[in-house]
Amino acid sequence: MAECGRGVRMRVADPVWDDLVSAALVGTGRRRAAEWPAEGALGELAARVDRTDEAVRLLDLAAIVMVHRRAGRRAPAGAPPQPCTEVDPRPSVPEPARARLRILLEGDGMDFLPEWLALARTAGLRAPESELPGLLTAARSRTDLRAVVAELAGPRGRWLAGLNPEWAWLTRIAAGDPDDPIDLWRHGRFGERLAAFAVLRAADPDAARELLARTWRAEPAEDRAVFVEALAAGATAGDEAFLEAALDDRAKVVRVAAARRLGALPESAFVARMSARGRACLRPDGAGRVLVVPPGECDEAMVRDGIDRSSPTGREDHSWWLGEVVAATPLSVWREVFGASPEEIAARALPRRFAEDVREGWARAAVLQRDVDWARALAGRGAPTRLLTVLPPAECADHVARHIAAHGLSEALQLLTNCPTPWPLSLGDAVLDAFATAAESGAYPWSFSGARDVAGRGLDPALVDRVDALAEGDGEWPKAFRALAATLRYRATMRAELLGG
């Protein structure tokens, strides 16, 4: 076989091609390409080649043969895919729910797709086969939907994902438990290897880590990062050396993942290093305040532990380094340093210059370490609203309801966005009370359009009668309340289609 052009292979045994190749090798001055007895359109085209220059004639004939070969190649018939043989015992969603899902996936009401999926999962149903392509495509760009879509898609979804590279995300998270994890680890695709690694890690954490170490250098960077995160399951002190080495990885995504995993090993050298840095930055001043001493520089050791030398948002260097150190310090350190509870520590006065950096660092640490006590202490002190995700759902709702009762809806949008839906009736009542107050005050409805949209997704549909009462009369506010009531009825119908009743 000889390579001719990119991806085209030609049989050298062809006498016409053999003759052209021979003439080219010895040179047209010594050997002229023979006349070849082609008939039909090909022969007519060859006959028109200019004969005044033998070298040009040879190249023209070669071009004609190559184009002819390419045009004459038939694409091989693709083998049909193997059918999906695994049976999903769950019932499919009822037909009205399937039709609703089609509407949502086509873009009309996409905001309600997460609730539809959650309701279907609660009902123990599987996604309809006809809508699987649309679901897999939607979850490709909505990573927050992937886990529930993978669960509802079941074995047929995994089968479909194997036929389309654009749906490969599903094979990464839903490969299932393999029968032979060692073989699958060696020969499977990434999603299958990740599932095999999880099984091996559950059986023998150290042995699984050693398997990963053997293939580590050959793994792509993104895959290395995912495998590092997978070490969270069955984490042991034996992981430390492997993760310390990963701090020197050439890919930042891997270094960040390694620092995160090391931070979860309480006895690790990484935790000791970050604790020492934290203690050097914050301590009591003897007068009930916090003495703040930001890092004087960001040395190589800090960079290796995941602290960037400059802020991506342009924050002043010392403030940036301070926030990064505080965020990476175990929260238990501050109990030791200050000899006080999180509530008491958070209440201490901070230097104005660094107050935001310290509180934001504490908040990031509370979210990362899932520390409810610290989240509770910081939630009411102007800290980031993502702290609410650490609180139990009922406590989160109570906190937001109190905030709304005291301050109204003007600053509540981000708080409401971080509350799990559907909201408890107590929070729903607080939101509707605030809407009623805003309407009575003469405020413009459009000023609260964002909060109203969030309320449409968060309010319990059981509150629709109260919304109807607010919608009585004419004007822009009653119009806005009628739209809100229509949204709640839409969700109530969606719920009935999936859950009955």
pLDDT tens per residue, range 412-435 = 888 898 888 889 999 999 999 999
- Domain hosting residue 241, numbered range: 181-263
Where does residue 84 fall: left (phi above 0), alpha (psi -120 to 50 degrees), or beta otherwise? beta
Q: Provide the pLDDT for residue 175.
A: 53
46 in Cβ contact with 64 (< 8 Å): yes
State pLDDT tens for residues 122-170: 999 999 999 999 999 999 989 889 999 999 999 999 999 988 888 988 8
Containing 9, the helix (H) or strand (E) segment is strand 9-10
Res. 90: pLDDT tops 50: yes
What separation in angstroms does the CA of 200 have from each of 172, 257, 457?
Answer: 16, 20, 41
Domain boundary among 331, 359, 388: 388
Distance CA 48, CA 195 (A): 63
Containing 199, the helix (H) or strand (E) segment is helix 190-203
**Co-location of 281 and 374 in the same domain:** yes
**Co-location of 284 and 378 in the same domain:** yes
390 in Cβ contact with 375 (< 8 Å): yes
**Co-location of 287 and 378 in the same domain:** yes
State pLDDT tens for residues 336-369: 999 999 999 999 999 999 999 999 999 999 999 9
Read off the pLDDT band of 51 (50, 70, 90): confident
**Co-location of 336 and 259 in the same domain:** no
2-3 and 290-292: which strand pairing? Answer: unpaired
**Co-location of 424 and 464 in the same domain:** yes
pLDDT, greater one: 79 or 188: 188
Res. 6: pLDDT tops 50: no
Distance CA 370, CA 347 (A): 20
Q: Is residue 86 part of a domain?
A: no
Distance CA 223, CA 206 (A): 19
> What is the domain count for the chain?
5
- Average pLDDT estimate for 25-53: 71
**Co-location of 286 and 379 in the same domain:** yes
Res. 78: pLDDT tops 70: no
**Co-location of 164 and 189 in the same domain:** no
Res. 27: pLDDT tops 80: no
Structure-derived torsion over alpha carbons of residues 107, 109, 114, 115, reported in degrees to the nearest 10: -150
**Co-location of 384 and 279 in the same domain:** yes
Token match 């939607």: residue?
A: 138
Q: Is residue 82 part of a domain?
A: no
Q: Is residue 77 part of a domain?
A: no
pLDDT, greater one: 5 or 248: 248
**Co-location of 124 and 197 in the same domain:** no
Distance CA 251, CA 272 (A): 24
Q: Provide the pLDDT for residue 174.
A: 60
Distance CA 155, CA 137 (A): 17
- Average pLDDT estimate for 304-328: 91
Res. 75: pLDDT tops 70: no
Q: Is residue 20 part of a domain?
A: yes
Q: Is residue 84 part of a domain?
A: no
Domain boundary among 337, 358, 388: 388
SS3 108: coil
Q: Is residue 83 part of a domain?
A: no
**Co-location of 236 and 185 in the same domain:** yes
Q: Is residue 87 part of a domain?
A: no
**Co-location of 198 and 294 in the same domain:** no
Give percent of the chain with pLDDT exceeding 70.
90
**Co-location of 54 and 109 in the same domain:** no
Q: Is residue 425 part of a domain?
A: yes
Containing 284, the helix (H) or strand (E) segment is strand 282-284
Q: Provide the pLDDT for residue 168.
A: 82
pTM above 0.85, yes or no: no
Read off the pLDDT band of 11 (50, 70, 90): very low
